[in-house]
Amino acid sequence: MLLPSYQDFYTELNNGVSMPLLGLGVYDMYNQEAERAILQALEIGYRLIDTASMYTNEVEVGNAIRQSGIPRQEIFLTTKVNDSDHGYDEALRAFENSQRKLNCEYIDLYLVHWPIKNKRQDTWRALERLYQEGQVRAIGVANYLEPFLDELLPSAAIVPTVNQVEFSPYLFLANLLQRCRGERIVLQAYTPLVRGERFNDPKLLSLAQKYDKTPAQIILRWALQLGVSTIPKSANPKRLQENFDLFDFSISDTDMAYLATFNEDYRIVPSPISML
């Protein structure tokens, strides 16, 4: 029996584009550290790299992708509209700036980073234009809790392909996950490992011992089995490898349900609901 591999954990977005479920987030990585981490991740086998204008490392991300020697079409690249660039014309200019800094042939996924008050609808129209003109392969949103989807979807010409939110067993947004599934929007988890702040949870440690895996590997595998894309951040070579070694085991249905009971509504990042 063949073990599953990274290639088995791709998902088809609602526009037909294929995206890996597991990727590398590069928040708070700069200069040579960012380039090294991305090159190491690509060498390990990661094929999704998630950055943002806000992270101020798009130049380094583009450099690493080109230096890797991996064909561009094998890498799925995401970046995002910065909060200060919301609005129709502003978002179009922001995309041009990101494209220039990344210096890649194209961007796979362009996201609205935060649902900024009074401007998010105009920003979404700009992303729709970019997609319709073929300047980006897919568009989506980030930090869109259900009220923001309620606002966006009735007027949107294009349904977002991805909704990137903070999500973990300790912030298990079950209703949002169900809503996104119903709309054929892939939920993508940032800060999936809660920055290690729950790695000493006895419940999680018990599961790690049962499966002979680390707490991080249990959390990430749980997300993948839910069909949730996940983008853990690390610049540490050992952690990069650990976070990728998820394909030689699976979590039972019983334990998947058990992990869903870990929810504490525990957030690392402030809730986007303040943007309403």
Residue 270 included in any domain: no
Q: Are 56 and 30 in contact (CB under 8 A)?
A: yes
Average pLDDT of every residue of the chain: 97
Report d(CA 33, CA 241) in Å as an integer: 16
Burial of 249 (0-12, 13-18, 19+ CB in 10 A): middle
Residue 86 included in any domain: yes
Q: Is the pLDDT of residue 2 over 80?
A: no
Active-site hit among 6, 46, 55, 170:
55
Written as one letter, the residue type at 267 is R
The pLDDT, as a whole number, for residue 6 is 92
List pLDDT tens digits, range 209-238: 999 999 999 999 999 999 999 999 999 999
The pLDDT, as a whole number, for residue 169 is 98
Say whether 190 is catalytic: no
Residue 267 included in any domain: no
Residue 203 included in any domain: yes
**What distance lies between CA 62 and its chain's CA centroid?**
18
The pLDDT, as a whole number, for residue 56 is 98
List pLDDT tens digits, range 97-110: 999 999 999 999 99
Residue 124 confidence class, pLDDT cut points 50, 70, 90: very high
Residue 1 confidence class, pLDDT cut points 50, 70, 90: low
Q: Are 223 and 230 in contact (CB under 8 A)?
A: yes
Q: Is the pLDDT of residue 137 over 60?
A: yes
List pLDDT tens digits, range 164-196: 999 999 999 999 999 999 999 999 999 999 999
Residue 276 included in any domain: no
Residue 15 included in any domain: yes
Residue 271 included in any domain: no
Written as one letter, the residue type at 257 is A
**What is the average per-residue pLDDT within 153-160?**
98
The pLDDT, as a whole number, for residue 44 is 97
Torsion 103-106-109-115 (CA) sign = positive
The pLDDT, as a whole number, for residue 183 is 98
Q: Is the pLDDT of residue 65 over 70?
A: yes
Cα angle: 275, vertex 179, 78; to 5 degrees: 65
Residue 1 included in any domain: no
Query: In which domain, by residue range, is 106 found?
Result: 6-262
Give the number of domains in the chain: 1
Q: Are 192 and 170 in contact (CB under 8 A)?
A: no
Q: Is the pLDDT of residue 4 over 90?
A: no
The pLDDT, as a whole number, for residue 213 is 98
DSSP the chain: -PPP-GGGSEEE-TTS-EEESB-EE-TT--HHHHHHHHHHHHHHT--EEE--GGGT-HHHHHHHHHHH---GGG-EEEEEE-GGG-SHHHHHHHHHHHHHHHT-S-EEEEEE-S--TTTHHHHHHHHHHHHHTTSEEEEEEES--HHHHHHHTTT-SS--SEEEEE-BTTB--HHHHHHHHHHT-EEEEESTTGGGTTTT-HHHHHHHHHHT--HHHHHHHHHHHTT-EE--B---HHHHHHHH--SS----HHHHHHHGGG-----SSPPGGGG-
Which CATH number goes with the domain that contains 60?
A: 3.20.20.100
**What is the average per-residue pLDDT within 27-36?**
96
